[in-house]
Amino acid sequence: MNPMVVNAFPVGIVHVINSGNVESEVDLRMEPSVGLEFDSSDEARDFYGLYAMRVGFKIRTGQLYRSRRDGSVSSRRFVCSKEGFQLNSRTGCPAFIRVQRCDSGKWVIDQIQKDHNHELGLEGENNSPVLQQKPPVVPKSLVEVLRRPKVKLLGQIENGGSSPSGIINFKRQKRGGDGRQPLPEPYTGLEFNTANEAYEYYQSYAESVGFRVRIGQLFRSKNDGSITSRRFVCSKEGFQHPSRVGCGAFMRIKKKDSESWMVDRLNKDHNHDLGEQMVYENKFSTASKKFIEEETNGMVSMDLGEMNTGKLIKRSRESKIGTDWYPVLLEYFQTRQAEDTGFFYSVEVDNGSCLSVFWADGRSRYSCSQFGDVVILDTSYRKSNYVVPFATFVGVNHHKQPVLLGSALIANESKECFTWLFQTWFKAMSSCRPKSVIADQDIAIQQAITVVFPGAHRRFSSWQIRAKERENLRSMPIEFRYEYEKCIYESQTTVEFNTTWNSLVNKYNLKGNAWLQQMYDKRESWVPLYLRGKFFAGIPIGETVESFFGTQVNGQTPLREFIPRYEQGLEQRREDERKEDFNSFNLQSFSQTKEAIEEQCRRLYTFTIFKIFQDELLQSYSYIGIKTYEEGTICRYLVRQSRNENDKHAVTFSAVNLSVNCSCQMFEFEGVLCRHVLKVFKLLNIRELPSQYILPRWLRNAEYRILCGAESGVSSQELKAFMIWSLRETACKYVECGTTSVEKYKLAYEIMREGGKKLY
């Protein structure tokens, strides 16, 4: 073999042996400039890092760009460590260099920005760590001769000694301290004695490069159930947490017949900035023989650490909210509270430190008393890198518009954090308990919902389901993806779904697929068939719910723009609601039939809901109803489409209390009767909808629905809460209109005074 020997060179010179064994030197006292050429991007990074150390700043590896033709890396950015705003220490510094790969294979600086927006350290000042300390790429021939003991290894190689073993025993490789030995970069074919050694190796490699590692999927043998392969992924893989950006970097190891483990798949490219060289705190003990995912049934928690005893303990809670946000928000809250007596805010405090923040104005609290039966926790800021973890509680009003039920900044992704958030929302909304909650499928969120809203129906956010499907199904055959979609969206009964799913898994030999098993176990929270019978105000299954603020306010909104944008977006949404309220009270929809049932709903429903009902009524004319069963007061009908015999549903009717249900479950899901039931009503000559099938939340005067609610068995606590917010909102309208002029003030005052006399 030809051993690689790294010799020392004078300070200020980078010595490089390129692929052609041609030695070259780059003077590090040279200023970076457009056109400066390097043999590799690593050489460019090292040069920029040493220049940064001399000038007085630190660097990070920024974005990379790929060729559209073959997917290879075509350019890279190296940036000042204070670039961006993701951490409190960052100031959005614009300084960077970008290197472009030429046709010759060389890398050339094609863009540069030297100006910083922060103070620089002194030349020669210790700014360590400056570089990511990426170890030199070690040829495969060298790695294959690494063997025990590692302390002697480098000396043996330099002296031309040989090493008979081809397996890395990572336990004997000493890490830490300034004199630690450089690790070989991972490559396909690299071998280890155990899976634990491979994990520790990849974790140490990640430290030196500037990222963190999580334990990914494992795969088991179909014969005996033993583990045959494992994946170790970048901590930013997937989208389940705010810090994750769907990074594709991973290392997979496969078990060999000799009981050793070999790297069989590898991706070293990240889609995010790499941090400075890092050292893990609370590192997992090497004495542990089990991975954390096995000890926690595959549920990895961001809040777990391990002591030397090997026992899991909770780490101290951290906040992803910049410290500069708290004083600005608190000043805003105090100003709003002086203007709006119904304004509520709360700050979570842990050991004297501020964590999550929640707030809701009087209008949001009033809206919750009307439309708090279905609540969406929108944490879609986690789809990408974010400046602030901004989340919203959103409901659906009687015009099917999104309505704000509260806002929050979420400090971290722990169960404790989300439990506090839900409990605070519950308290702010006068203990309004939702029937259904739509939220991300993260374990911490779902556990918090179980604690605070134990009886609520749960549904996973569609964007997260789609993201995981793209990630896990991209390697599957097209045929499998087609049958998968058909199983999910076309199954009509639970028996049909279970049979089709099991058949699909067996057909494509996917019984050991951990993700598919997890999704099957949680099918009641995302498969349409299981969600149809639960009330979700008609929010379409499988479609991403529109963000309340759109692009106006999101996780990328900087602090200086956050409050103005927030106020503007909120006012815009509420103006849209006022317009719909005006139209519903002052305009009339056109009747399409002479049915009394249509006229009844035209008077009661808002424009939007009446349009839905009217469409169902018109569609009912193309259906045929056949009585298939009758016993006492109960009848059953088969209702089918006259031109499509496959479109058929069963409708059961009871004459005792005029109760009805349909197998399509539209009323249970949306709160509006379906075409099949309307067909049966026509056959039975029922000319008006029974009161139990007209939901007060869909009425024009939904704000007065307490009169209906008082008769429908709502709790006294809910009744009182609604009355408080209804009267408060009405009073606010009088105050708002009555202060526009002296004349209107006198009129408003007189109306309220005369009305008050009747109360005493």
Q: Which residue has the higher pLDDT, 659 or 387?
A: 659
The pLDDT, as a whole number, for residue 93 is: 87
- Burial class for 311, CB neighbours closer than 10 Å (0-12, 13-18, 19+): exposed
Q: State how far Cα 176 lies from the chain centre.
A: 35
Region 484-512: mean pLDDT is 92
Region 619-631: mean pLDDT is 93
- Whether the predicted pLDDT of 713 surpasses 60: no
Residue 239 within a domain = yes
The pLDDT, as a whole number, for residue 662 is: 95
- Taking the CA of residue 412 as centre, how many other CA atoms within 13 Å lie in the half-sphere pointing to its CB? 17
**pLDDT over 70 percentage in the chain:** 78
Distance CA 13, CA 61 (A): 21
The pLDDT, as a whole number, for residue 715 is: 60
Is 595 in the same domain as 626? yes
Distance CA 237, CA 244 (A): 6
- Whether the predicted pLDDT of 401 surpasses 80: yes
Tell me the one-letter amino acid at 713.
Answer: G
Give tens-digit pLDDT for 690-710.
999 999 999 988 765 544 444
- Whether the predicted pLDDT of 13 surpasses 70: no
The pLDDT, as a whole number, for residue 29 is: 57
CB atoms closer than 10 angstroms to residue 587: 8
Residue 291 within a domain = no
Distance CA 145, CA 147 (A): 6
Confidence of residue 717 (pLDDT cuts 50, 70, 90): low
DSSP-derived 3-state class of residue 626: strand
77-86, 200-209, 441-450: least confidently modelled range: 77-86
Confidence of residue 426 (pLDDT cuts 50, 70, 90): very high
Alpha helices by DSSP H, 432-558: 443-452, 462-473, 478-490, 494-507, 514-521, 528-531
Alpha helices by DSSP H, 210-361: 292-295, 325-339
Region 185-212: mean pLDDT is 87
**Contact between residue 16 and residue 45 where contact means Cβ atoms under 8 Å apart:** no
Q: Which residue has the higher pLDDT, 148 or 100?
A: 100
**pLDDT over 90 percentage in the chain:** 36
- Whether the predicted pLDDT of 314 surpasses 50: no
**Contact between residue 38 and residue 14 where contact means Cβ atoms under 8 Å apart:** no
Give the structural domain span for 732.
716-759
Instruction: Report the run of H or E that residue 516 belongs to, with start and end.
Output: helix 514-521
Is 653 in the same domain as 734? no
Cα angle vertex 417, ends 413, 418, to 5°?
A: 85
Is 428 in the same domain as 353? yes
Distance CA 514, CA 229 (A): 12
Q: Of 106, 443, 149, 465, whose CA–CA distance to 304 is shortest?
A: 443
Confidence of residue 306 (pLDDT cuts 50, 70, 90): very low
The pLDDT, as a whole number, for residue 721 is: 63
Tell me the one-letter amino acid at 283.
Answer: K
- Whether the predicted pLDDT of 733 surpasses 70: yes
Distance CA 674, CA 647 (A): 13
State both tokens at 38.
Answer: 């390097």
- Whether the predicted pLDDT of 138 surpasses 60: no
- Whether the predicted pLDDT of 225 surpasses 70: no
Region 322-332: mean pLDDT is 91
Query: Strands 436-439 and 374-378: what pairing?
Result: parallel
- Whether the predicted pLDDT of 370 surpasses 50: yes
**Contact between residue 354 and residue 348 where contact means Cβ atoms under 8 Å apart:** yes
Q: Tell which of 224, 242, 267 closes a domain.
A: 267
Is 432 in the same domain as 389? yes
Give tens-digit pLDDT for 451-497.
999 999 999 998 888 888 888 888 888 899 999 999 999 898 999 99
Q: How many Å from the N-terminal Cα to the C-terminal Cα in the chain?
A: 101
Region 104-128: mean pLDDT is 74
- Whether the predicted pLDDT of 184 surpasses 80: no
Q: Which residue has the higher pLDDT, 307 or 712?
A: 712
The pLDDT, as a whole number, for residue 238 is: 80
Is 675 in the same domain as 552? no
Distance CA 302, CA 321 (A): 17
Q: Which residues pair with 359 in a beta bridge?
A: 345, 407
Is 371 in the same domain as 345? yes
DSSP-derived 3-state class of residue 631: strand
- Burial class for 76, CB neighbours closer than 10 Å (0-12, 13-18, 19+): buried
- Whether the predicted pLDDT of 747 surpasses 60: yes
The four Cα atoms 37, 39, 42, 47 give a dihedral, to 10 degrees, of -40
Residue 124 within a domain = no
For every residue of 641-664, DSSP letters joined together read ETTEEEEEEEEEEETTTTEEEETT
Confidence of residue 570 (pLDDT cuts 50, 70, 90): very high
Residue 448 within a domain = yes
Give tens-digit pLDDT for 146-166.
333 333 332 333 333 333 334
Q: Of 10, 4, 3, 45, whose CA–CA distance to 25 is shortest?
A: 10
90-99, 541-550, 667-676: least confidently modelled range: 541-550
- Average pLDDT along the chain: 79
Region 184-190: mean pLDDT is 85
Residue 137 within a domain = no
Q: Going by C-beta distance under 8 Å and a sequence separation of 6 or more, which residues neighbour residue 365?
A: 342, 344, 428, 429, 430, 725
Residue 362 within a domain = yes
Region 19-28: mean pLDDT is 43
- Whether the predicted pLDDT of 249 surpasses 50: yes
The pLDDT, as a whole number, for residue 642 is: 86
Is 639 in the same domain as 687? yes
Q: Tell which of 542, 560, 580 closes a domain.
A: 580
The pLDDT, as a whole number, for residue 295 is: 33
Looking at residue 605, the DSSP 8-state letter turns out to be B
- Whether the predicted pLDDT of 531 surpasses 60: yes
Distance CA 383, CA 177 (A): 37
Q: Going by C-beta distance under 8 Å and a sequence separation of 6 or more, which residues neighbour residue 312?
A: 292, 295, 296, 304, 305, 306
Is 548 in the same domain as 633? no
Cis geometry, peptide bond prior to residue 129 (ω within 30 degrees of 0): yes
Confidence of residue 716 (pLDDT cuts 50, 70, 90): low
Is 335 in the same domain as 448? yes
The pLDDT, as a whole number, for residue 183 is: 67
State both tokens at 458.
Answer: 């749960």
* 153-159, Cβ contacts within 8 angstroms, sequence gap of 24 or more: 153/181, 154/181, 157/3, 157/4, 158/3, 158/5
Backbone angles phi, psi at 266, to 5 degrees: -155, 140
**Contact between residue 428 and residue 375 where contact means Cβ atoms under 8 Å apart:** no
Q: Going by C-beta distance under 8 Å and a sequence separation of 6 or more, which residues neighbour residue 398?
A: 370, 371, 606, 608, 609, 697, 698, 699, 700, 702
Residue 550 within a domain = yes
Which residue, chain included where needed, has tokens 């249970």? 668
Is 721 in the same domain as 686? no
Is 408 in the same domain as 531? yes
**Contact between residue 403 and residue 371 where contact means Cβ atoms under 8 Å apart:** yes
The pLDDT, as a whole number, for residue 145 is: 31
Alpha helices by DSSP H, 605-741: 607-620, 666-670, 675-683, 706-709, 716-738
Residue 169 within a domain = no
- Compute CA distances 688 → 83, 595, 625, whole Å: 65, 9, 19
**Contact between residue 204 and residue 175 where contact means Cβ atoms under 8 Å apart:** yes
Region 511-531: mean pLDDT is 92
5-19, 337-351, 361-375: least confidently modelled range: 5-19
Q: Which residue has the higher pLDDT, 129 or 534?
A: 534
The pLDDT, as a whole number, for residue 62 is: 82
Is 576 in the same domain as 596? no
Number of domains in the chain: 5
Greatest Cα pair distance in the chain: 104
- Whether the predicted pLDDT of 317 surpasses 80: no
Q: State how far Cα 382 lies from the chain centre.
A: 4
Distance CA 85, CA 558 (A): 9
Distance CA 411, CA 389 (A): 7
Give tens-digit pLDDT for 255-294.
888 778 899 999 988 888 887 544 443 333 332 333 433 3
Confidence of residue 169 (pLDDT cuts 50, 70, 90): very low
Region 385-413: mean pLDDT is 92
State both tokens at 186.
Answer: 């991972």
Query: Strands 312-314 and 227-234: what pairing?
Result: unpaired
- Compute CA distances 516 → 101, 307, 469, 511, 519, whole Å: 41, 33, 10, 8, 5
Q: Going by C-beta distance under 8 Å and a sequence separation of 6 or more, which residues neighbour residue 185?
A: 135, 137, 138, 205, 268
